[in-house]
Amino acid sequence: MGHYEKPLPAIDNDTRYFWEQCKKEKLVIQQCETCSNYIFYPRSICPHCMSEQVIWVESTGRGVIYSYTVARRPGGPGFQDDVPYVIALIELNEGVRMMSTIIDCNISDLACDIPVEVVFDEVTDDVTLPKFKLIP
Ligand SMILES: [Zn+2]
């Protein structure tokens, strides 16, 4: 695989399982067994009730665009060939929000609240990134 010039996630004990599942093309989030709230980003303590009884569950991988912006100048040298590209906050059906991008879309088709689903982009041997596309 060629050299990847964009920033990569810093994988730690809280996030390792998330990235392992992305490699298997599964989107996982956490759920608190005490208060049932879904949690993203990954962490070891529930932000709603401080419980440590946090488990991994598979997400539907579907949601809507909560908000987005279009980058028309690259955010770094690695993004030079990508402009214009989309930076989007996705609200998954489970209610948590995830920062990502929308690929393979016409920017003029984008709007808040329209449905999207996850797709996976293997960018290095170790990292597969969850990205999103519009559901036709
Ligand atoms: Zn909780």
Domain boundaries, the chain: 16-134
Encode pLDDT of 111-133 as tens digits: 999 999 999 999 999 999 999 99
Q: Compute the distance from residue 90 Cα to the ligand 1 centre, in Å.
A: 22
Q: Compute the distance from residue 61 Cα to the ligand 1 centre, in Å.
A: 22
Residue 136 confidence class, pLDDT cut points 50, 70, 90:
confident
Q: Compute the distance from residue 87 Cα to the ligand 1 centre, in Å.
A: 29
In contact, 5 and 78? CB cutoff 8 Å: yes
Q: Compute the distance from residue 96 Cα to the ligand 1 centre, in Å.
A: 14
Q: Compute the distance from residue 40 Cα to the ligand 1 centre, in Å.
A: 12
Please tell me what DSSP assigns to residue 79: G
Q: How confident is the model over 67-91, as a mean pLDDT? A: 95
When the pLDDT of each residue in the chain is averaged and rounded to a whole number, the result is: 96
3-state secondary structure of 99: strand
d(CA 84, CA 86): 7
Encode pLDDT of 17-61 as tens digits: 999 999 999 999 999 999 999 999 999 999 999 999 999 999 999
The lowest-confidence range among 1-5, 39-43, 68-72, 106-110 is: 1-5
pTM: 0.94
Strand order in the sheet with 85-92: 97-100, 85-92, 62-71, 115-122, 128-134
Q: Compute the distance from residue 84 Cα to the ligand 1 centre, in Å.
A: 39
pLDDT score at 1: 54
